[in-house]
């Protein structure tokens, strides 16, 4: 230790002695740049490592977010339960649940003896109508010539009108079971009819098999059209005033990270005994993995006017204040390029959907300013490590 101290003292003495020789000592001035307190600089490699990205201030409608739950469903006009109005036996079918079907497509062939009777009665009534119409015209003409009595004309008229009523009724029955009355002839009377799909969509359920007798009240197929899906959401009474038509909804299914969107189309007008009400929203966009019956977690965003906003990660907090970093300029030091960013204090507003409303300082040009929207916390860490900020 004594040796080290002696060596240091000797070195100092040598330095003083050398400086005293030759009169005035030569002095060298090293210029050191002092950065302002609100500036942080980085090299290109540091910017890449910090994953810094620039953006601009956006006008967004941001409000408080209400968290609700519900299920995916479809509107009544987009789902159908298919029955056979007159019943019968299943003669053939080849469909399974999940199969896509088109409106008018044959779902099954139904056989019933009553189908023959209806067709027979209709054709016989048509034949009778030809004779009845001729009689009606003849009696009416003879009545005018005072050949027939009024009673005879009335009787023929009643028979003619009753026959027309019977034909109209039989036409409706034929239409009910899927037979076109206008194309029915003696040669195409059949004991079978085609059961067709009333809408396009996917088969949700198939409840038949060949040879099974089905009654008019039995549901044979259930079809769901998933082109226009709805959300059926449960909202508590205390939050009823926070939802309204046309509000934006973001929802998730099966704990997935993928986000889907919907828009409220209708809100409930009554509150149930459990102090909740229903809210319905129309799903927008193409959501291939969203199916009726799925459970959803949804975020309803309250509607407010558009205001300046930035991605939430662009705003950093330090010393009970909030800041953003703005691109300042490019420069060189010792032949090396650097980029300067200026730290500016802002006031945070409400947050939602990944964005936060901000109040910018007076005179700030939001239209031209390039703001760090990603990597802001890395810039803050660099500023702290430079020793130019103190907690």
Q: At 257, which CATH number?
A: 2.40.30.170
Q: What is the pLDDT of residues 228-260, one digit of tens each?
A: 899 999 999 988 888 888 888 889 887 777 888
CA angle 261, 64, 308 (to 5 degrees): 85
* Whole-number pLDDT of residue 148: 61
Residues 95 and 198 grouped into a single domain: yes
CA 388 to chain CA centroid, nearest Å: 48
109 contacts: CB under 8 Å, gap ≥ 6: 90, 91, 92, 93, 192, 193, 194, 195
Residues 246 and 173 grouped into a single domain: no
Residues 250 and 366 grouped into a single domain: no
Which residue is it, tokens 């299943």? Answer: 90
CB 379 within 8 Å of CB 386: no
Query: 345 lies in a domain?
Result: yes
* Whole-number pLDDT of residue 14: 39
Q: What is the pLDDT of residues 111-132, one digit of tens each?
A: 999 999 999 999 999 999 888 8
Number of domains in the chain: 3
165 contacts: CB under 8 Å, gap ≥ 6: none
Select from 263, 259, 357 the least CA-distant residue to 60. 357
Residues 100 and 71 grouped into a single domain: no
Residues 106 and 167 grouped into a single domain: yes
Q: What is the DSSP letter of 240?
A: G
* Whole-number pLDDT of residue 27: 47
CATH no. for residue 311? 2.40.420.20
Helix and strand element counts for the chain (H, E): 5, 23
Residues 172 and 209 grouped into a single domain: yes
Residues 190 and 293 grouped into a single domain: no
CA 122 to chain CA centroid, nearest Å: 51
* Whole-number pLDDT of residue 109: 95
Query: Which tokens hold the place of 176?
Result: 């009910």
Which residues of the chain have a pLDDT value below 70? 1-33, 63, 142-149, 303-305, 353, 386-391
Residues 215 and 281 grouped into a single domain: no
From 222, 251, 268, give the residue that closes a domain: 222
Query: 33 lies in a domain?
Result: no
- Dihedral of CA atoms 35, 37, 39, 40 in degrees, nearest 10, equals 80
Task: Give 58: exposed, middle or buried? Use CB within 10 Å, 0-12, 13-18, 19+.
Answer: middle
Residues 97 and 113 grouped into a single domain: yes
Query: 8 lies in a domain?
Result: no
From 222, 239, 258, give the residue that closes a domain: 222
Element (H, E) at 195: strand 192-196
Select from 70, 94, 92, 76 the least CA-distant residue to 203. 94
Burial call 252-282: b when 16+ CB within 10 Å, e when fewer = ebeeeeeebebebeebbeeeeeeebbbbbbb
Q: Rg (Cα) of the chain, in Å, rounded?
A: 42
Element (H, E) at 135: helix 113-144
Query: 17 lies in a domain?
Result: no
| Owning domain of residue 169 | 83-222
Classify 335 as helix, strand or coil. coil
From 272, 301, 330, give the residue that closes a domain: 301
Residues 213 and 290 grouped into a single domain: no
- Dihedral of CA atoms 297, 302, 308, 312 in degrees, nearest 10, equals -30
């Amino acid at each position: 230790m004594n040796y080290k101290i002696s060596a240091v003292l000797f070195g100092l003495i040598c330095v003083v002695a050398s400086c005293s020789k030759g009169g005035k000592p030569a002095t060298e001035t090293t210029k050191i740049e002092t950065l302002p307190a609100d500036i942080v600089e980085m090299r290109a490699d540091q910017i890449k490592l910090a994953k810094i990205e620039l953006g601009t201030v956006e006008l967004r409608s941001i409000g408080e977010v209400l968290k609700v739950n519900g299920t995916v469903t479809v509107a009544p006009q987009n789902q159908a339960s298919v029955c056979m109005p007159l019943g019968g036996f299943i003669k053939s079918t080849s469909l399974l649940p999940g199969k896509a079907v088109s409106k008018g497509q044959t779902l099954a062939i139904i056989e019933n003896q009553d189908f023959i009777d209806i067709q027979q009665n209709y054709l016989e009534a048509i034949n009778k109508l030809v004779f009845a119409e001729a009689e009606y015209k003849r009696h009416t003409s003879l009545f005018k010539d005072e050949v027939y009595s009024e009673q005879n004309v009335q009787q023929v008229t009643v028979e003619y009108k009753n026959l027309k009523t019977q034909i109209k009724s039989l036409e409706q029955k034929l239409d009910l079971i899927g037979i076109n009355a206008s194309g029915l002839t003696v040669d195409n009377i059949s004991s079978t009819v085609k059961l067709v799909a009333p809408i396009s969509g996917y088969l949700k359920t198939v409840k038949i098999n060949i040879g099974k007798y089905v009654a008019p009240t039995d549901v044979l197929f259930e079809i769901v059209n998933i082109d226009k899906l709805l959300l059926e959401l449960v909202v508590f009474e205390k939050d009823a005033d926070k939802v309204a038509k046309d509000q934006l909804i973001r929802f998730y299914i099966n704990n997935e990270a993928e986000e889907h969107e919907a828009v409220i189309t209708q809100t409930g007008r009554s509150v149930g005994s459990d102090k909740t009400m229903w809210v319905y929203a129309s799903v927008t966009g193409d959501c291939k993995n969203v199916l009726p019956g799925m459970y959803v977690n949804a975020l309803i965003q309250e509607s407010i006017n558009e205001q300046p906003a930035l991605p939430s990660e662009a705003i950093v907090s330090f010393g009970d204040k909030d800041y953003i970093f703005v691109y300042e300029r490019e420069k060189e030091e010792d032949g090396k390029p650097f980029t300067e960013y200026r730290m500016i204090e802002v006031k945070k507003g409400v947050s939602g959907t990944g964005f936060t409303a901000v109040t910018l300082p007076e005179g700030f040009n939001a239209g031209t300013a390039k703001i760090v929207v990603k990597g802001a916390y890395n810039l803050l860490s660099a500023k702290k490590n430079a020793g130019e900020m103190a907690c």
